[in-house]
Amino acid sequence: MSGSEPKPLAAVVPNSWAFLRDPMIAPAGFRDYDARWLYPEQINLPGVEALGLGLATQMFEAGAGPDIVVGCDYREYSAAVKTALILGLVRGGATVRDIGPAVTPLAYFARAHLGVGPVAMVTASHNPNGWTGVKMGLRAPLTHGPEEMVRLREIVLSGGGMERPGGRVVREHGVGAVWLDDLAARGPLKRRLRIVCATGNGAAGAFAPDLLARLGAEVIPLHATPDYAFPAYNPDPEAPEMLRDMGRAVREAGADLALGFDGDGDRCGVVDETGHAIFADRIGVLLARDWAKAHPGARFLADVKSTGLFASDPELLAAGAAVEFWKTGHSHMKARMVETGALAAFERSGHLFLDPPLGRGYDCGLSAAVEILRMLDRHEGMSLSALAATLPRTWATPTLSPPCPDGEKRAVLARIVADLQAMAAAGGALGGRRIERIVTVDGARAMLEGGDWALVRASSNTPNLVIVCESMGSEARLRAILADLDSLVRRQEEVGDYDRTF
């Protein structure tokens, strides 16, 4: 066992001898629950190796391991990043169970299948090309939260990684096939559905079309061949460009719905048979209705970006379901599920988490797709649009993400939250709707009279703020709420223009 590792540098000149020799890691890449960097501008391969050594050190420090599941998403540089990470893990004494190219939920499944607690999935999720990162955890089904990330950052940036003997690599073949068997274990659907399967040329294209076909669907692939250039658009089923393309494909094919998956396969987006996108939180309310009836007294979680219908939907209330709004982020959700015994958790971005007997506690876009299709089976004869129409009508913005530098966004958010709290204390309003209270579990969600609300928070993984608003009354009221919230945001000169129009 030895130490004395060099401390990674925050920057190294590209195309230099030092760039190939010295570890470089931008400290800001250690985020709330994932690690993400621009590659190779913010992290080089020696830096990734140092990260692997630090993770191995953290594993042994926590009494986890020595085995760890490792996989990577489908990007041109992901195999190189994974190899450097594995080198560091092996130097640290870990036994790496390498599952090869994968989607993130496959790596999570491999933990259960192989009986391994730790995981390290090389992925930048839905971030565009040029980004890399690692989703990691020590004990299933959990992944690193803020405390674990702070400790990992301390180990890595201080040069505190410790070499240990006995490290090795084991290639694990066929885990993907076992995973697909598990997802399809309940057999084919009763309904013969025509489904557009959209993967944006990301890694989910290697699995999702096969799964849907095994469920008995007629699959219409849309950019479903993995291509790390992402020639059509970045695979993000919350992005308007991908949703519009899914809607076009549904209408042209006369399909029953479209299912879209992000770059690492842990999120699912939905477009109905008319080509209309249904936000994942509204799909979540429909699923929760069914599960609340089948599991009396069930508890659910919804992230703070999600629709207020989780708290006010008449069917959920009648079924006695308990719903708690919680912090956005897959690690936050998984940890809260363990703490509370929630049956399922929902994020507006498309993450769906299922605890036993529905699942194993982690987020999986393909599991979400299966549950959506089985929900349609339970409501035989109803189209997806008709089923969605049974929900009370609301008007909501898309997720708006104005840029704000990583080093400044927390302070900027704190000033906006203070402004909202002062307004609430003075009896103020947004869009003419009185502020009843401010929920600060993650940023600030201003709860307005009549069930309307407005959220501002700092993104955990990218340099921007996140803004979402919803009205139970009208689009005009929604726009008025957004305009008043935006007037507070615009006081902060560090905040840029919105990433999309509404």
Which residues are known to be catalytic? Answer: 125
For residue 70, the 8-state DSSP code is E
User: CA–CA distance from 3 to each of 30, 83, 151, 155 (Å)?
Assistant: 22, 22, 17, 11
3-class SS of residue 374? helix
CB contact at 8 A, 207 and 176: yes
Which residue has 């993984």 as its token pair? Answer: 461
**Is residue 37 within a helix (H) or strand (E), and if so which, with residue range?**
strand 35-38
Structure-token pair, residue 285: 């309310």
Dist. CA 94–CA 58, nearest whole Å: 11
Element (H, E) at 132: strand 131-137
Can you read off the two tokens belonging to residue 329?
């982020």
Q: Contact at 8 Å (CB) between 466 and 409? A: no
- Residue matched to tokens 């399909």: 255
- Residue of 239, 200, 246, 232 lying closest to 400 (CA atoms): 239
Which amino acid belongs to residue 123? Answer: T
Are 438 and 447 in contact by the 8 Å Cβ rule? The answer is yes
**The token pair that represents 312 in the structure block:** 């006010």
How far is C-alpha 350 from the geometric centre of its chain's CA atoms? Answer: 7
CA atoms within 13 A on the CB side of 337: 30
For the four alpha carbons of 182, 340, 399 and 119, in that order, the dihedral sign comes to negative
Cβ-in-10-Å burial (0-12, 13-18, 19+) of 43 comes to buried
Please tell me the total number of residues recorded for the chain in this structure.
502
| Exposed / middle / buried, residue 62 (Cβ in 10 Å: 0-12, 13-18, 19+) | middle
Helix (H, G, I), strand (E, B) or coil at 45: helix
Burial of 20 (0-12, 13-18, 19+ CB in 10 A): exposed
Of all helices (H) and strands (E), which one includes residue 27?
A: none
DSSP 8-state class, residue 410: H
Cβ neighbourhood burial of 501 (10 Å; 0-12, 13-18, 19+)? exposed
Contacts of 40 (CB under 8 A, 6+ apart): 14, 19
**Phi, psi of 46, rounded to the nearest 5 degrees:** -60, -30
